[in-house]
């Protein structure tokens, strides 16, 4: 159930207009910033189910393959700035 919530939140953030950069936090401590909606890819629907558990991130400096099961948080860049300030 948590995996579906994480995937749904990522979908919401990717589709947000105007797009706002966001960060995905992984359980191993890795934090990956998504600067553009085309930097992350996953199948939103998988044979009638809720969608793929896996995702890929590609940007100029990052190549990452992960699973929504291992995501511990998704935050907007603005939220991160407020937490650091």
Whole-model pTM: value is: 0.81
73 with 83: CB under 8 angstroms?
no
Whole-angstrom distance, CA of residue 65 vs CA of residue 1 = 21
- Residue 84, domain member (yes or no): no
What is the model's pLDDT at position 59? Answer: 87
Domain boundaries, position 35: 2-78
Q: What pLDDT score does 68 carry?
A: 94
Instruction: Output the domain CATH number for residue 74.
Output: 2.30.30.100
Q: 68 with 3: CB under 8 angstroms?
A: yes
Write down the H helix ranges in 1-85: 2-15, 77-84
Q: What percent of the chain has pLDDT over 90?
A: 61
Please say whether the beta carbons of 32 and 62 come within 8 A. Answer: yes
> Which residue ranges in the chain fall short of pLDDT 50?
80-85
* Total of domains in the chain: 1
User: Residue 1 has what pLDDT?
Assistant: 61
List the one residue out of 42, 59, 60 whose CA is nearest residue 3: 42
């Amino acid at each position: 159930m948590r995996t579906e919530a994480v995937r749904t939140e990522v979908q919401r953030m990717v589709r947000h207009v105007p797009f706002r950069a966001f960060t995905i936090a992984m359980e191993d401590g890795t934090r990956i910033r998504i600067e553009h909606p085309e930097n992350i890819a996953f199948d939103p629907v998988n044979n009638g189910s809720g969608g793929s558990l896996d995702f890929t991130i590609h940007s100029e400096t990052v190549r990452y393959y992960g699973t929504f099961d291992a995501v511990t948080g998704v935050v907007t860049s603005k939220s991160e700035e407020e937490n650091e300030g």
